[in-house]
A and B are shown apart, each in its own frame.
Chain A
Amino acid sequence: MLEAIAGLRAPAQGRICVGDSVWFDTDAGVDLPPERRSVGLVFQDYALFPHMTVARNVAFGGRERADEMMALVGISHLAGARPGEISGGERQRTALARALACDPAVLLLDEPLAALDPATRADVRARLAELVGHLDVPVLMVTHDMADAAALQCDVAVMDQGRVVQRGARADLLARPATPAVARLMGANLLPGTARPGPAGLTEVVLDTGGTVLSGEGGTGRVGVVVDPWEVSLVHGRPGDSQLNHVTGTVASLTPAGNRVRVQVGPVTADVTALSADRMGLVVGAPVTAVFKALATRLVPLAGETPPAAA
C-alpha cells in the first residue's frame, strides 16, 4: 500500500491524492513518478545509500533541511559515519531524517521497527513515537505489531486480505472489534460458537469446543466470544463467585513474560501474575478452570456468516 502511495507500484484501480494534488487516478489517467510525489518513505530495511555518509544520505533528500533534520532525530554526531558503521536504531533515525529532509506532504513508515532486534525495539519505538508526535506532517505507518500502533497513539485502520475492516482509535478497536481478525490482532481470545438468547437478558453462546458462555452483549447465530487475556482468572475446582463463565481444561502451556505468565487452558489464554501462578502451583497438564465475567466479553459476528457492520 505504501509503495502505491509512493509511486513504486501502480494499483489496478483507484485514486491517490494528498491535499489538493492528485498523484494517481485510473479514471483520469494520472500516475506521477515517485520523484514528483511529495512523499517521505522510510523503507523497512531503511535503504540507506551504503557509499554515502549519514550526512550525505540525509542531504540527498534536501540539502537545506539536512542539518536541522539530523539534529531533530539526534544523529548530528554521526554525520561522518557510514550506514554500515552505526546501529539499527541509528540507521532508522537516519532514514527518517532523510525522508523528512525532502519536506514531504506525507511521511510513510513501512514497518519501521521490523528490522530491529527485540532488545532495542521497545527503546527505538518510544523514541520514534516521541519524534512523530512532534512532527506537523501526516504520518502513515504500516505494522504487524499492535504495540507500534499503541506507542504512536494514532488512528488505526486494520487491513485484512487487502481491505480495511475497521478504523478508529486503538481503544475502540480493543473494546469493539468489528471482525474476528481485529480481535485476534488486538491479542484477545476468540472463542467461536453459536449464540442464542440466554437467562436474565444475557446471551448464551454454545462454544464449538464444548460448554457454554454467557455474555452481556446481544447476538444470534455464529459469533465469536471475545475476551481479553487479562480479564480471565484461573481457579482450582469449581468457582462459586459471581463470575458466570468457566472453561475447564488442563494447562497446555506456561509462557512467562516479566512479572506475568501467559497460560493456555484449552481454547482460552489467560494472563495471571507470576506470583499467583506460583501460588497456584500451575504446571503443564494440571487441571484448572478459567473464569471471566459475562460483562468482560464482546460478541463479534464470524466472517462470512453475517455481513460486517456498516463501515
Chain B
Amino acid sequence: MRHGFTAIQALALSLALAFLVLPVVAVFLQVSPAAMFSQLGGEAATKAIVVSLRTNLIADVIIIVVGTPAAWLLARHRTFPGRRLVVTLLELPLVLPPAVAGIALLVTFGRTGLLGGQLEALGVSIPFTEVAVVMAIIFVAGPFYLRQAITSFEAVDPRLVQAAATLGARPWRTFRAVVLPLALGGLAGGWALAFARGMGEFGATLIFAGSLPGVTQTLPLAIYSEMNRNLDTALAIGGLLIVIAAAMLLAVKMIPSWNPDPNSSPTSARRFATSPSTPR
C-alpha cells in the first residue's frame, strides 16, 4: 500500500517534470546553436534586443530608486493603520492579468484616458512610445522588487538600527552603512526577479505600447510577430529569453545574503524569501 502510494507520487513528479522541461528543451532541439546566433544577428532580433534591454534598464533604475526608500519606510513602520492595505495594493499587479494592466494603463495615460487631457495640454503623448513600454514594465515588474525589498528590510534586526542611532548616526548614514549592506542580497534577488518578469512582459506592452519594430517591439513581442514570418528567428529569441530567465533564477538562488550565524543552513528560508511580506 505504502509502496503503491510512493510510486504514484514518483509518477506525478516525473509527469510534472517532463511537462515543464520538455517544451524548454524542444526550443533548443529545433534550432542548432550556430543557427540561433546567426538568427539573433538579424535585423528584427537585434532591434528587439536593443529595445528590451534599454526599456528594462530604464524601468529597473526607476523601480530601484523609488522602490527602495518606499520599502524601507514600510519595513520600518510595521504597525501604522492601513499598512496592510498599502502593501496589498502594491502587490495587486502581481496577480493582475497583464492584458488588464495594459488596458488600465491605456485608460489612465491614453489620449482619452483619465490623465489624457492634462498630458495632451503638456504636449505629451505616451501610448505606443518607448515611455509606454517602460511604464508597462514598471507596472508589472515593480511589485516583485518592492515585495522582496520589504521582506529584506524587515529581516534587518531593528536593534542594529537603534544601535547606529545611539552611536550618533543620522538616519541616512544608518541606512547606507548598516541597513543597505545587510539587505543587499535580498534587494539584488528582488531586482533579478523584477528583471526576469520585465524581460518577459508581453500583454500590457502590446496593448499600451503596441509592437513597433525598433521602438516598442520587445523580445517577446518580436517572437509573436516573427512566428509567422520566420519561425527560426522566433525560436532563437525564445532560446535567448530562456537563457536569461535561467541565469536570473540561478542568480537569485546563489546570491549571498548576510548570514549572522555561519553554522546555519545555507538553504534557510531567509536567504530566498519570496513569500508575501506580511505586517508583523
Interface residues of A (CB under 8 A from B): 6-8, 33-35, 37, 39-41, 43, 45, 47-51, 60-62, 84-85, 98-99, 101-102
Contact = CB atoms under 8 A, between A and B. Distances in A.
Contact of A43 (B163, B170, B178): B163
A84 B162 contact: no
B166 A51 contact: no
20 contacts: A6-B166, A7-B165, A7-B166, A8-B162, A33-B165, A41-B163, A41-B166, A43-B159, A43-B162, A47-B157, A49-B160, A49-B163, A49-B178, A51-B181, A51-B182, A84-B260, A84-B262, A85-B262, A98-B167, A102-B167
Top 4 closest pairs, chain A to chain B, by CB: A34-B165, A47-B163, A47-B159, A50-B260
A262 to B, nearest CB: 37
Nearest to B159: A47
A242 B204 CA distance: 98
B97 to A, nearest CB: 41
B258 interface: yes
Contacts of A33: 165
Contacts of B159: 43, 45, 47
B240 interface: no
Contact of A34 (B157, B166, B177, B178): B166
Interface residues of B, number: 21
A85 B178 CA distance: 19
Interface in B249-269: 258, 260-262
Contacts of B167: 35, 40, 60-61, 98-99, 101-102
Given A51-B182, A84-B260, A102 B168 contact: yes
B62 interface: no
A287 B170 CA distance: 66
A102 B181 CA distance: 22
A264 B163 CA distance: 44
B169 interface: yes
A51 B170 CA distance: 19
Contacts of B261: 84
B50 interface: no
Nearest to A9: B162
Contacts of B245: none
Contacts of B168: 35, 61-62, 102
A18 to B, nearest CB: 14
Given A47-B159, A51-B181, A51-B182, A35 B258 contact: no
Most buried by B among A48, A60, A62: A60
Interface string B112-127: 0000000000000000
A31 to B, nearest CB: 13
Contacts of A43: 159, 162-163
Contacts of A48: 163
A8 B258 contact: no
B231 interface: no
B157 to A, nearest CB: 7
Contacts of B163: 41, 43, 47-49
Most buried by A among B157, B167, B177, B181: B167
A33 B160 CA distance: 16
Most buried by B among A35, A85, A102: A35
A35 B169 contact: yes
B248 interface: no
B164 A60 contact: yes
Given A7-B166, A43-B162, A51-B182, 16 more contacts: A6-B166, A34-B162, A35-B170, A35-B171, A43-B159, A43-B163, A45-B159, A49-B160, A50-B182, A51-B181, A60-B167, A62-B168, A85-B262, A98-B167, A99-B166, A99-B167
A99 B168 CA distance: 10
A43 B167 CA distance: 12
A60 B182 contact: no
A39 B162 CA distance: 12
B176 to A, nearest CB: 12
Contacts of B171: 35
Nearest to B260: A50
